[in-house]
Each structure stands twice: as C-alpha cells, then as structure tokens.
Amino acid sequence: MVAEDIIAALQLPEQARVNQRVSKKLLIENLTPAAADRQQINDGIEEIQWIAALKPGNCGIPDYSNVQREYVEVAVLHLTLRPSARLARLIELLHRAVPHPTLLLISTPESLQLSVSHKRWAQNEAGKTVLDGEITTVTLPTATQITAAFLEAISLERQPRSDLNVFYQGWVDTLLALQTTQHTGSFRVANSPLDATARHLAWQACIELQAQITTVRAQAQKAQQIARQVELNLQLKQLKQALSEAQARL
C-alpha cells in the first residue's frame, strides 16, 4: 500500500483538491521553532504536500464556531519523512503549524501512518490556535481485511456531516477504531459518539494496564523472597484480568 491508495480511499471532492508542495521554509516561519526542531525539519522531512482543503463551499459540510474553536476548513496533508526523522516530534510540529484541524498522512521508509488532532483558540494569543488534547496517530497494517474495512470507513462520505467539527471527529473516531484492532483483531466503527468515547476510554485503560503488567512482571522476575513473588504474581493475575475486561469493552 502507498499514500496514493489512502488519498483515493478518502474520496475527496475534486474542487477541494490543492495538490501543492509546502516549503520547509514556510513551515519554519509559521512555527519559529527552536534550533533542534529547525534542524529536524530540514534533515528529517523529504516533502510536505498539501492535498486538499475541505470547506463548506466545496464539500457541502457547514462550518462550526463556538467560544473554544472555529472550524471553517479541514486540511489534508501528506508528509514524507527520511530515515533519520524523529517521527513523533515532526508529526506534532505539523499539527501545530497548520491553523486548521488536519488529517495528516505520513510516509516513512518503514510505514504508512495517519494522524489527527483537534485545535482550539489559544487563551493568551488572539487569532492563534493550539492543539486541543492528544494527537492520535495510527500505523496502517499490511493489506488485510482490517485495512480494507478501514479504507472504506475513512471515506469522506462515511463521516457525519452536520458540521466540520463533527465531521473531523468522525475521522478521529475512525482512527481510534483502527487502534483497537490491536486488541480485538477486527475493525468496527463506533455506532454513536457515546460508543466512541467509551471505546477510547477502554483503549486508554488497555495501554495503562499493559504498562503496569510489564512493570510488575519485571519486578516479579527480580524478586528474591517467596512472599514477594507470590504477592507480585497475584498482582499480575489481577492486572491481566482487568486487561481482559477492558479489551472486552473495545
């Protein structure tokens, strides 16, 4: 699979297509980054391609505005990285640099990924936007039934269309659904916003429990006293049970 397969699956309106290269110089000017980040932009990025700008006039989805955020456009960008790139940092910098919520497609020598993050107004700088919450980044699996189902679900036409905020959340939920397949083995789109929230909380619980299991397992392997080993093995059993219950909620 290549980036063009994902772009085709999005089924973007032709009138929304931009298809322009974004210079690294422009990215640096928008961010005014520290020296280390500037070096990463120059050395780690091969190319930034602006694929599309989805607006009410070209996609038929109304804009959204409240005291916290204003969504008048959703951007679609393709970021191509070099082997030396610091992946997570460059993804964060791209989301920060674009003033609108962005669906970011990332091509690296090893993987193909998609990333989303909501934006909101900055509290202390009028007219400036900042990241709102966590960045969700998923790696697309190799060609499988899961991938085929995901590509169908990511289509613009499959997203809710009441406004651009709800629409963008549809993409967020679709990426979160792909994340959960690591535990469920199958792809399922949330059937409601409440379902999506519950699954996201269950996913976060799985991540936290997995980290705890790794820590307790390492402690158990190092424990010298029998009583301590028994205690840690009991904790491990309880954590595994909790993990199983969290996975069942995905």
pLDDT, one tens digit per residue, over 7-48 is 999 999 999 999 999 999 988 988 888 999 999 999 999 999
Can you give the residue ranges of every domain in the chain?
A: 3-142, 198-248
Query: Measured on CA atoms in the order 45, 128, 104, 186, is the torsion positive or negative?
Result: positive
Provide the phi-psi class of 158: left if phi over 0, else alpha when psi is between -120 and 50, else beta.
Answer: alpha
Task: Please give the model's pTM, rounded to 2 decimal places.
Answer: 0.86
* Candidate from 14-23, 33-42, 82-91, 176-185 with smallest mean pLDDT: 176-185
Q: Is the pLDDT of residue 185 over 90?
A: no
Structure tokens at 226: 């029998």
**pLDDT attached to residue 68:** 93
As beta bridge partners, residue 21 has 49
Q: Quickly state the pLDDT bin for 86 (edges 50, 70, 90).
A: very high
Give the integer Cα–Cα distance in Å for 62 and 64.
Answer: 7
Among candidates 220, 168, 175, 165, which has minimal Cα distance to 199?
A: 175
**pLDDT attached to residue 119:** 96
Is there a contact between 5 and 148 (Cβ–Cβ < 8 Å)?
A: no
Structure tokens at 166: 């709800």
| Three-class DSSP category at 11 | coil
Q: Is the pLDDT of residue 223 over 90?
A: no
